[in-house]
Chain A
């Protein structure tokens, strides 16, 4: 190491107890910046139509319950249909995605076979393909099969996750010992049994990560439903709110509905993150494995 001859002022032991104010301040400013829109939407959702345009943005209003019942009443509760659709697309899609990634990543991480690296690189290259390059031909092909504008058209293209396969491959290689697999083989376990009974439980933290990552990815997706769906009873919440705003842009009366809808749409994921961060480390997202 090259000698670092910078101010060697006598800040030895006393420094340990001092708070580092600059980093603390920077972090708090960053946290505030990230909270502003969320705080605003929470407060704005409490305002009725006239309060929204007349009172100061961060002063709470009195219309929350009215807004909620307006939103529920809007077109016979289509908002809650959108929420249910999103939950279905994201929940079921992420579950299938985690299962497919588990098998694929395990095969790539724990077996050596001809063509392994080529397959792996090919799947990873899938990340680079722009979404619309896939979405337009996917739409055309699915509509030839009569599947466009159906639940399948949203679900099927969301299952394969190159990132999930990549992550499980790392996990499998790091957390499932070959010795254990060999021992199970000696005891007569089939390859499927080794995978389902030994490997899957050991890879579980990684699989949960894949599930969450894909859940957020599908829940947040806008391009795919925008291309695939026309029937608004099948819309996920992202597309539903967008069309609501697109209609409401000319009539500010719909603003309160959009704002209340935004708040309700982000609450589930924020709650999910706040709960899971207690036992699930964010570091897992970048594939780091801590013993």
Chain B
């Protein structure tokens, strides 16, 4: 956009706008106004173009694929032997009847039941401790607890994977030294704990910062009043701080649930280290498996759409609940 030199008469017309309100609706259109009117669309153009190209169109394509299937004519050789034909909701019926996918969703929920309360509980405790006026080494601890955020999930999982391996792990070394039983961290239920620990390690710091930021926005006078009334730090934390940061907790919970449904990195990273992990352990792994290993992009698309819909339904339910909760809180 080029800037046209303004003439004196234009300035006079712009005059009434200079009161700072910006969007006076009754103002006669003047040239800078008119120019300014298209500006937001220009500024939004790159965002919207990318959004269309890499979000809207792929989703549309996935939905289209999910409603189709390949029909092979003859022996399936030559041009036109494979045609994409309408399949209605056939793929969706397959998804819902597919116990493998159902099991992967259940596993993700089981994993989430361990990760989310542990991670958010720790994040809240750390944030409250950071906010305690007389805690020592708080800034050091804040940085260290946040540090895992800088470590790629796959590398975090690789590092923990080694720490779970009896041959190289210091924990097994100590267990061995003291003659304690040595659990197999790659087996059965322990697998969930092993994954959960990696996610907790990687995610606590970020959530702690979100909650801590909310805590610091509370005016200090509230605490002074409570202290004069004789409240202990613990009582202040339980009765004042936690209710006030509840919206942040709801937000972090919300994002944790979405992340849980999409667990992929941790099981993928540990897969090479053990034979106990099927390639459809989590929903995302199941989708990847059917799209690229079984080459069924139609079924995979239907599965992906189901997962997306489930995420949306879950999100809106959670937002509805939290909305009602925070509104009651305000009343």
Taking Cβ atoms with an 8 Å cutoff, the residues of A that contact B are 1, 3-8, 15-16, 18-20, 22-24, 26-28, 30-31, 33-38, 40-41, 44, 52-53, 56-58, 99-101, 103-104, 106-108, 111-113, 116, 119, 122-123, 126, 128-134, 136-138, 140-141, 156-157, 159-160, 165, 178-179, 181-183, 185-186, 188-193, 195, 216, 219-220, 222-223, 226-227, 237-239, 241-242, 245-246, 248-249, 252, 255, 258-259, 262, 265-266, 269-270, 272-274, 277, 282-283, 285-286, 288
Contacts and interface: CB of A to CB of B under 8 A. Distances in A.
Contacts of B192: none
Interface stretch (B70-78, B86-94, B167-175): B167-175
18 contacts: A4-B235, A7-B232, A26-B129, A27-B126, A30-B122, A36-B163, A37-B156, A37-B163, A41-B159, A101-B47, A129-B59, A131-B264, A132-B264, A138-B58, A226-B268, A227-B288, A239-B154, A249-B272
B150 interface: yes
Given A44-B162, A157-B54, A20 B46 contact: no
A116 B268 CA distance: 40
A126 B51 CA distance: 8
A143 B307 CA distance: 24
Given A44-B168, A107-B43, A132-B288, A140 B160 contact: no
A132 B284 contact: yes
A104 B3 contact: no
Given A134-B59, A188-B3, 20 more contacts: A15-B134, A27-B141, A41-B159, A100-B50, A104-B43, A104-B47, A128-B311, A134-B54, A137-B301, A179-B20, A182-B17, A191-B39, A191-B42, A193-B3, A220-B153, A222-B268, A242-B269, A249-B272, A255-B162, A259-B162
B113 interface: no
B81 interface: no
Across the A-B interface, the 9 shortest Cβ-Cβ residue pairs: A190-B3, A104-B47, A8-B230, A57-B170, A107-B43, A27-B141, A31-B144, A191-B39, A111-B40
Contacts of B230: 4-8
Given A26-B126, A223-B284, A132 B162 contact: no
B32 to A, nearest CB: 5
A23 B132 contact: yes
Contact of A134 (B55, B156, B261): B55
Contacts, number: 346
Nearest to B17: A182
B134 A1 contact: no
Given A4-B230, A128-B258, A192-B1, A123 B148 contact: no
B28 interface: no
Contacts of A270: 147, 150-151
Interface centre among B5, B57, B155 (most CB of A within 10 A): B155
Contact of A130 (B35, B147, B262): B262
B205 A123 contact: no
A33 B201 contact: yes
Where chain B touches its partner, the secondary structure class is helix
A144 B96 CA distance: 30
Contacts of B222: 1
B300 to A, nearest CB: 6
A245 B265 CA distance: 14
A128 to B, nearest CB: 5
B61 A186 contact: no
B47 A6 contact: no
B41 to A, nearest CB: 7
B143 A266 contact: no
B308 interface: yes
A138 B284 contact: no
Contacts of B149: 216, 273
Contacts of B264: 131-132, 222-223
Contacts of B17: 182, 185
Q: How large is the interface on B (under 10, 10 to 19, 20 to 34, 35 or more residues)?
A: 35 or more
B146 to A, nearest CB: 6
Where chain A touches its partner, the secondary structure class is helix
Contacts of B3: 188-190, 192-193
Given A18-B134, A19-B136, A52-B168, A191 B150 contact: no
A103 B128 CA distance: 37
B135 A27 contact: yes
Given A238-B152, A241-B155, A133 B308 contact: yes
Nearest to A100: B46
B246 interface: no
A222 B167 contact: no
Nearest to A272: B150
A108 B65 contact: no
Nearest to A246: B272
A190 B57 contact: no
A34 B204 CA distance: 9
Given A132-B264, A137-B61, A190 B150 contact: no
B304 A188 contact: no
B244 interface: no
Given A108-B44, A182-B18, A27 B138 contact: yes
A17 B201 CA distance: 33
B67 interface: no
Contacts of A106: 43
Contacts of B39: 107, 111, 191-192
